[in-house]
Amino acid sequence: MESTDAYFDRKLEELKLLNSCLAAPLSLDRPGSVADVIRSKFQLTAALRAAHEIQDWKATETAWSGSARPSSGPFSFQYDYQRADLTVDGPSFYPLDEQHIRQTIYAASGMAAIASLLLAFCKSMGGADVVALPNSYAETLELIDGYARHLRLVVGTVENFSANYNSRRVLLLDSCIASRDFRDAINCRKPLFDLIVFDTTCFANSSGRIAQVVRRSRRWGIPLILVRSHNKLDSLGAEYGRLGSVTFVRNSFASEGISPSWLEQLVTETSNAIRLLGNAALPAHFPPFIGTSHYRRLTRSRTASILRNGRFSSRHFASKLRGVPSQLQRVHGLYVTLGSREPLDEAAARRAAAAMSEELSALGFPIRHAGSFGFDFAATEWFHDLATDRYSVRIAVPDLPSTLWSDLTHAIGDWWLASIS
């Protein structure tokens, strides 16, 4: 358990890291409250983005100045008109060395990255079956089902791995799925897939589970592509900017349907799709504070705190809210969902998330009605479980001192029992 003093010392280190990226650092005091942490962090990231615009004023959309040399911290960029040919030189967000990474292509968001990859499948593969495990990210499934007509979406369990498909097969491995399904997937003796696409967004970039999938794919001889949204766990809780990536992992090929030339074509077509869709990343959205051992240590500490708090709240709600429909334990451990005895519709779940946040915030708790996760405050939002077709309220667990999170968890449980369940 982390003490409150230790927490504020750690938060000061995060603020110092952000501040060190400014040419003219601001005067910083040790934060005395969570509100101080949140306010200072968002002020500093705003100052960093403003400084980037002032520094790289020549690097416009039309690339009018040949002398522009845009950069952001350890990243440097080259591009022509509207970043259609964006080249990024800088550290990997993943702790993987060059022998593992074939190429990384950046996009304007996580969804822009995976949408461009799926469109590239059409040119490089013609068509394929995409097997997704239950409770994969809903918007990705919606995208495949509604707009990627060249792909056939199959939502199933581990039994689908051994099915005999006639077309090429892609496994969509998602960090939102149940712990048991993730474990079953990576423990397969030899899944019958031509390609694995792994959405790592809800895992810390240094997560052992990412490394585990990389090792498994190499052992299986199946090509692996990592897709990610970077404005969550990679931004020290401040959502620095919308940024996504597609990382092609270097691998040997045992699959009969895949060759190195085919994967090179997929890399090319993904780049083309990002260009044609206008999905290119913005240089200003690359966090200038990543890549150092200090950053990696602070990110690991933040994520560990969130996971500890998440385990505590899961145990507490399981005990306190007996009789309330149990919710799936997702492998990432970053949020919990609260259901109700009487089914909620989307509107009722929205109202519950807003009302709970407003009332508990008025009592002084760091909780807001907001989407996303990885903040220094608890974030509530409505949630739709596609597997059960039930609506609930999602609580994104924050990086908070253990005692404060314990108090807030108890307050959430009390509010839910009195108002919803």
Domain CATH number, residue 122: 3.40.640.10
Is residue 322 domain-resident? Answer: yes
Phi, psi for residue 397 in degrees, rounded to 5: -70, 135
Specify the CATH number for the domain of residue 386.
3.90.1150
- 304 plus 263 within the same structural domain: no
Q: Give the pair of three-digit tokens for residue 160.
A: 């689908």
- 189 plus 260 within the same structural domain: yes
Is residue 200 domain-resident? Answer: yes
- 125 plus 274 within the same structural domain: yes
* Residue that finishes a domain, picked among 285, 311, 340: 285
- Between CA 319 and CA 323 the distance in angstroms is 10
- Between CA 217 and CA 263 the distance in angstroms is 15
Sheet of 71-72: strands edge to edge? 71-72, 75-78, 87-89
- Between CA 174 and CA 185 the distance in angstroms is 11
**pLDDT higher than threshold 90 for residue 68:** no
- 281 plus 307 within the same structural domain: no
Is residue 63 domain-resident? Answer: no
Is residue 13 domain-resident? Answer: yes
- 51 plus 178 within the same structural domain: no
State percent of the chain over pLDDT 90: 64
CB 420, CB 395: distance < 8 Å: no
Specify the pLDDT at position 126.
76
Q: Give the pair of three-digit tokens for residue 235.
A: 């931004």
Based on the number of CB atoms within 10 Å of its own CB, is 388 exposed (0-12), middle (13-18) or buried (19 or more)? middle
Residues 6+ apart with CB under 8 A from 65: 58, 59
- 300 plus 280 within the same structural domain: no
Selected residue with higher pLDDT from 410 and 124: 410
Q: Which of 38-52, 188-202, 295-309, 356-370 has the lowest mean pLDDT?
A: 188-202
- 247 plus 311 within the same structural domain: no
Q: Give the pair of three-digit tokens for residue 64.
A: 């009018």
- 326 plus 216 within the same structural domain: no
State percent of the chain over pLDDT 70: 93
Measured torsion, CA atoms of residues 382, 38, 6, 407, in degrees rounded to the nearest 10: -40
CB 76, CB 227: distance < 8 Å: no
* Residue that finishes a domain, picked among 285, 312, 329: 285
CB 14, CB 254: distance < 8 Å: no
Is residue 61 domain-resident? Answer: no
- 254 plus 332 within the same structural domain: no
Q: Give the pair of three-digit tokens for residue 234.
A: 């990679």
**pLDDT higher than threshold 90 for residue 324:** no
- 323 plus 189 within the same structural domain: no
Give the residue-averaged pLDDT of 239-266. Answer: 79
Is residue 244 domain-resident? Answer: yes
* Residue that finishes a domain, picked among 285, 309, 340: 285
Residues 6+ apart with CB under 8 A from 54: none
Total of domains in the chain: 3
- Between CA 319 and CA 302 the distance in angstroms is 26
**pLDDT higher than threshold 60 for residue 254:** no
Specify the pLDDT at position 89.
94
Is residue 218 domain-resident? Answer: yes
26 in helix, strand or coil?
Answer: coil
Specify the pLDDT at position 323.
65
Assign 142 a pLDDT band (cuts: 50, 70, 90).
very high
- 18 plus 145 within the same structural domain: no
Pairs from 354-359 (Cβ < 8 Å, separation ≥ 24): 354/380, 355/419, 356/380, 356/393, 356/412, 356/415, 356/416, 356/419, 359/415
- Between CA 212 and CA 201 the distance in angstroms is 15
- Between CA 181 and CA 173 the distance in angstroms is 10
The residue type found at 283 is: P
Assign 117 a pLDDT band (cuts: 50, 70, 90).
very high
- 240 plus 308 within the same structural domain: no
User: Which domain, by its residues, includes 96?
Assistant: 71-285
Give the residue-averaged pLDDT of 199-222. Answer: 92
Q: Per-residue DSSP letters for 221-253?
A: T--EEEEEE-SSGGGTTS-----EEEEEEP---
Is residue 60 domain-resident? Answer: no
Give the residue-averaged pLDDT of 207-227. Answer: 92
The rounded mean pLDDT for the chain is 89
